[in-house]
Amino acid sequence: MRSKKIRGNATLIGSGNTVTGACSGIAGGEANQVAPGAEWTVIGGGFNNTVSSSGNAILGGVNNNDTALPGVMIAGNNINAASGPLIPNALHVNGLWANGLPLWTGGLGFTINQVFKVPYGMPGPAGASVLFIM
């Protein structure tokens, strides 16, 4: 078994993982790291993942890094600065399966906070936030 390093109030399970941020944890995996100063964070497992900012989470996967941005949650593999720009306060995933969403066909037949599909090339309803799934 490889060495484990813990500092502060932390939970550590797995092999070769390091937690130096207070009130943080790694629930499994290998070679994962919660960096100093990254408090209230979690890595769910996986291999070679790094959390460097407080309040962030990596759910698992391989070679993920929050690049020290606040409010980042990662689910997938190889999500880091090299894979493209990360933005703060966002969920970053390799893919999102959204089955069974209602189709918006125009008009005002929708409610606030509803998620729906908009056919390609058709503008969404006025005032709506846009979710791009490609």
Task: Give the pLDDT confidence of 17-76 residue by residue, as tens digits.
Answer: 888 888 899 999 999 999 999 999 999 999 999 999 999 999 999 999 999 999 999 999
Could you tell me if 102 and 84 lie in one domain?
Answer: no
Say if residue 88 is in the same domain as residue 101: no
Decide the pairing of beta strands 57-58 and 72-75: parallel
Is the confidence at residue 133, as pLDDT, over 60? no
Q: What is the predicted pLDDT for the residue at 86?
A: 82
The pLDDT, as a whole number, for residue 62 is: 97
pLDDT digits (tens, 9 = 90+) for 100-131: 666 666 666 666 566 666 666 666 666 555 55
Contacts of 62 (CB under 8 A, 6+ apart): 46, 47, 48, 49, 77, 78
Q: Are 6 and 14 in contact (CB under 8 A)?
A: no
pTM metric for this prediction: 0.71
Judge if 80 and 32 occupy the same domain. Answer: yes
Report the C-alpha gap between 78 and 62 in whole angstroms.
6
Question: CA-CA distance, 134 to 132, in Å (whole number)?
Answer: 6
pLDDT band at 1 (very low <50, low <70, confident <90, very high): very low
Structural domain including 115 reads 96-134
Q: How many CB atoms lie within 10 A of CB 75?
A: 18
Q: What is the CATH number of the domain that holds 54?
A: 2.150.10
**pLDDT computed for residue 59 by the predictor:** 95
pLDDT at 12 (0 to 100): 77
